[in-house]
Amino acid sequence: MKNILLINTGGTIGSREENGVISSENGKCRILELYKKAFPDTQIEFTTVMPYNILSENLETAHWEMLINYIISLDKSRYDGIIITHGSDTLSYTSAMLGMCLHDMGLPVVITASDHVPDHPESNALANFTACVKLINCCHNGVYTVYKNKDEPSAQAFIPTRIMEADRFNDKFTHINGIIGYDSPTDSLRAFPSAGKNSLDIKTLHLSKNVLLLHSYPSIKLETITPDDNTGAVMLVTYHSGTVPEKAEILLEKCLAKKLPLFLCSLKRSSEALYETSSRLLEKGALPIYDMTTEGAYAKLLLAVNLCPENILEFMRKDIYYETLC
């Protein structure tokens, strides 16, 4: 008999809808009730825990500490796999963080969410949860994100460090070459690359330093932004062409004065040439992040400034869990 640990953290998949308002629900696990109703003869034993209960738009790094430290402390011999239910808004960010921290646990860790509360007639909650169980039945290690987009025939398994935030109109998750397979992707899992992983060997995770994440947009006042004393690094997300506003140079000067690294995300290593705004910034001391999602780069940089603040650049150059497109 399989033993699966179900970790509920809230989100839509752990919520109810009443009078048009969605709110998190304490003390119940409706998705597990629906799964057992759909599969009454299941030979799986579930243990459920709820380390915290939030709507994921309220996610903070303290929640990551709580979740990851709880999982690290487990007696892993008791379980064949772990399912984490989460809100969809920040699913891609938590996926990247879990992928980097937990990929070498020796058992599968699967994170999922839903587009509607479990009892909604159009909800993908049960399809996603069922796919998580199937995935645990066919793999032995690694971290995966499972989600069924509306235009897909079944749930997909994603490389968690390559999934990107859902778009705001179709609620569809996308990825950079990061799909492993559909529903129960046994064959694709066998082909999932095993090289390039680096275990972080985290005993207890403390994320005391922050990363200041900035997105380029027209008229952003980069010259007015000053990192505070709790900032360990600044990450400026470029436009798709790898360009940034020229006033990023003023922000860079402030970072250099505080001895803070400023990273540009995400440049394409395959680009034949850089535009002058980015080229000039790199010449003056900014650092490149190549071929990585915003979420993957943010999680990785957050770990770098907290786990090895003296060797941030060296850490960023390692491939932790397939976060770099290559």
Kindly give the confidence (pLDDT) of every residue in the chain, 326 residues in length, as a single tens digit, with 9 standing for 90 and above: 799 999 999 998 987 777 677 666 665 788 999 999 999 999 999 999 999 999 899 999 999 999 999 999 999 999 999 999 999 999 999 999 999 999 999 999 999 999 999 999 999 999 999 999 999 998 878 999 999 999 888 999 999 999 999 999 999 999 988 777 776 555 555 555 544 467 888 999 999 999 999 999 999 999 999 999 999 999 999 999 999 999 999 999 999 999 999 999 989 988 777 889 999 999 999 999 999 999 999 999 999 999 999 999 999 999 999 999 87
Same domain, 182 and 257: no
**Residue 35 CA: distances (Å) to CA of 18, 120, 276, 319:** 22, 14, 55, 36
Residue 139: the pLDDT is 81
Residue 232: the pLDDT is 98
Same domain, 232 and 125: no
Which residue type does 314 have?
A: E
Same domain, 93 and 153: yes
Residue 192: the pLDDT is 57
Total domains in the chain come to 2
Residue 195: the pLDDT is 43
Structure tokens at 17: 């809808």
With contact defined as beta carbons under 8 Å apart, do 11 and 86 qualify? yes
Structure tokens at 244: 């940034």
Residue 201: the pLDDT is 85
Same domain, 49 and 182: yes
Same domain, 73 and 214: no
With contact defined as beta carbons under 8 Å apart, do 287 and 164 qualify? no
Q: CA dihedral defined by 323, 228, 280, 308, rounded to 10 degrees?
A: -40
With contact defined as beta carbons under 8 Å apart, do 227 and 257 qualify? no
Question: Is residue 326 a part of any domain in this protein?
Answer: no
Question: Is residue 196 a part of any domain in this protein?
Answer: no
Same domain, 276 and 169: no
CATH code where residue 90 lies: 3.40.50.1170
Q: What is the pTM of this model?
A: 0.94
Q: Within 10 Å of residue 36's Cβ, how many Cβ atoms?
A: 14
**Residue 77 CA: distances (Å) to CA of 4, 81, 101, 105:** 11, 10, 19, 11
**Residue 226 CA: distances (Å) to CA of 156, 244, 287, 305, 322:** 41, 17, 18, 18, 32
Report d(CA 2, CA 43) in Å as an integer.
Answer: 7
Residue 186: the pLDDT is 54
Q: Which residues make beta-bridge pairs with 182?
A: 156
Domain end residue (candidates: 191, 220, 247): 191
Report d(CA 307, CA 103) in Å as an integer.
Answer: 17
| DSSP tag of 223 | G
**Which domain does 185 fall in, by range?**
2-191
Residue 198: the pLDDT is 79
Same domain, 177 and 216: no
| Residues whose CB falls within 8 Å of the CB of residue 252, separated by 6 or more in sequence, listed in order | 262, 281, 284, 285, 286
Same domain, 227 and 165: no
Domain end residue (candidates: 164, 191, 218): 191
- Give the start-end residues of each E strand in 113-226: 143-147, 156-158, 163-164, 174-175, 179-182, 210-215
Q: Which residues make beta-bridge pairs with 263?
A: 235, 287
Same domain, 180 and 282: no
111 three-state secondary structure = strand
Question: Is residue 130 a part of any domain in this protein?
Answer: yes
Structure tokens at 215: 């997105």
CATH code where residue 242 lies: 3.40.50.40
Same domain, 44 and 163: yes
Question: Is residue 266 a part of any domain in this protein?
Answer: yes
